[in-house]
Chains A and B, each alone.
Chain A
């Protein structure tokens, strides 16, 4: 029992600090533009870390992460939208402070659970499929989810809600056009509380026997199986966990933006999460966080210097260059603090940056590979 309490301590302290920070109006000192960027960064950190559980820890290549996020976004959005109308009769729907926050938390958890259920369904085919085939199936699932959401009826207004039973409301998610007027309750406190929880969960997972089992599946599935690791069970668990957090991220996203368009959850968004995981280093928690910050903040920076239209060109080129130059990502599977700590860290730091001679040799090796037969 004391062990559990000790484990929860960092979360509790962090949330308390965040709560005070929010209460004294800390986030607004960044200014509206930067605060908005911070919220998006937080949501993307959650997305990247959740994908990291499947792609990074377990080594299963999932490229349909946007599907889980879409499910979470629509589930969370629908619960707060219709919940606010049913419970408080407000229109446009608004959440009162206190009990409203309770509904918000319920919506986030439900968003996660709905996505986790889908994650279980997607995880099942991974029993039979490997590598690229699994990738294509996850992409297919994400597309199916998106298409089904696109076919939902327009959202109901307050008068129409009373004519429908609670369960049938899930047919009216406005997929054909847009799901508008979702209460915008996501703020700095909520986003970074979730970020904190996900970081602690991922970190502890990586250190635990579960995490080790997942890593062993990634390294060598057959060897893991021979050592008594139930590989399929861990693959499915990884999928379920990743989907849960992606769903929560979706819920946060829906209630930050206040409106949803199913077409925003297409391949591009899945690829963005993959870029975060690969750039940061597959399996590295701090790496993925840093990559999420870089990938999310880059558009804001590029917009400021007027290179906005080159954003995706720069992204994609850097992805290719990164794969050629540093295939293991920024930190490999290590954490930032172990990469740079101590004598070994200094050597690693040198190998990270390299020397002019090593750069030259690297470029020459690349050129030889390109030109050679």
Chain B
């Protein structure tokens, strides 16, 4: 039984990280109706920026102060927000009125560019690296045979705090109202005086910041970083996208629900069936959900899209 609860806990934590990334996909899809393939690369960049800043600050691989950790986290999140903004400006904005297939291919191009540019020797290099321990990941306590790490608790609290902030922003502020208006009808929204270009830029900045946070937490949890062009990053981002689709793309609640569902499914499948088939099972869940309910779990009931 403790095996089951152990898997459940890991799945839940993993699901929170997926949800953070899925929110970025869902925000962009809700507004622009396209899959931002470069999103998984922003996750990768988040983790690698944190690594780079830690190097510059001369952080050793032992446990460091909370202040430095938060500083690295903040810098990395800001850098990724800037990257998200730049991508939107240079690659997506000029294609705003182009057919969707072109935008999708551009997104794939941007994704490949980020991966292959950052793995050049003078950027991040093409080797896996050890991630500095921004927090002590091993400290924790036992509950009925299940090891609970403080780091897991921090991850969950942090993720839920960000999600709460995001939903406050979307449902309670002027910017959020503008986002919802644009996702409802871009043309009418711009006729009503909403600066659509600026709001879309903000959306990318927000999504990228969340992705960066998720990337750093993942890197710290694993203790190592795969090289930038490793398919494990794409696969990670892809699973987060699956969470968004399963939950109902365009819906914030859906992204969170989908993230938790996929995170826990993946761990249980890995623990009870076979870890090598876990990914295949996740993709199977996606295909099943899409066949039965193409708009996802929350896709129909949640009328308000973001």
Show the binding face of A for B, using Cβ within 8 Å: 59, 61, 63, 125, 128-129, 131-133, 135-137, 139-141, 143-144, 147-148, 150-151, 266-268, 271, 274, 278, 282, 309-310, 312-313, 315-317, 319-320, 323-324, 327, 366, 369-370, 372-373
Contact = CB atoms under 8 A, between A and B. Distances in A.
Contacts of A128: 290-291, 294
Interface string B176-205: 000000000000000000010110000000
B284 to A, nearest CB: 7
Tell me the dominant secondary structure on chain B's binding face. helix
A282 B102 CA distance: 11
Nearest to A150: B276
Nearest to A271: B108
Tell me the dominant secondary structure on chain A's binding face. helix
A327 B105 CA distance: 10
B112 A370 contact: no
Interface of B: 29, 33-35, 89-91, 93-96, 98-106, 108-113, 115-117, 120-121, 195, 197-198, 229, 231, 234-235, 238, 241-242, 245, 276-277, 279-280, 283-284, 286-287, 290-291, 294
Given A128-B290, A135-B104, A369 B94 contact: yes
B162 to A, nearest CB: 25
A141 B287 contact: yes
A323 B121 CA distance: 28
A132 B99 CA distance: 12
A144 B280 contact: yes
A324 B106 CA distance: 8
Contact of A323 (B35, B106, B115, B290): B106
A144 B284 contact: yes
B95 A323 contact: yes
Given A133-B290, A147-B277, A316 B113 contact: yes
Tell which of B108, B111, B238, B286 has the most Cβ of chain A within 10 Å.
Answer: B108
Given A274-B105, A323-B105, A147 B280 contact: yes
B276 A137 contact: no
B109 A319 contact: yes
Given A63-B108, A136-B245, A141-B287, 16 more contacts: A61-B104, A132-B33, A136-B241, A139-B238, A143-B235, A147-B280, A151-B276, A266-B231, A312-B112, A312-B229, A316-B113, A319-B112, A320-B110, A323-B95, A323-B98, A373-B198
A271 B231 CA distance: 13
Contacts of A313: 113, 116-117, 120
A133 B289 CA distance: 11
B91 to A, nearest CB: 6
A73 B188 CA distance: 51
Tell which of A63, A125, A128, A320 has the most Cβ of chain B within 10 Å.
Answer: A320
B35 A135 contact: yes
B193 to A, nearest CB: 13
Nearest to B279: A147
Tell which of B109, B111, B231 has the most Cβ of chain A within 10 Å.
Answer: B109
A129 B294 contact: yes
Contacts of B109: 316-317, 319-320, 323
B51 to A, nearest CB: 21
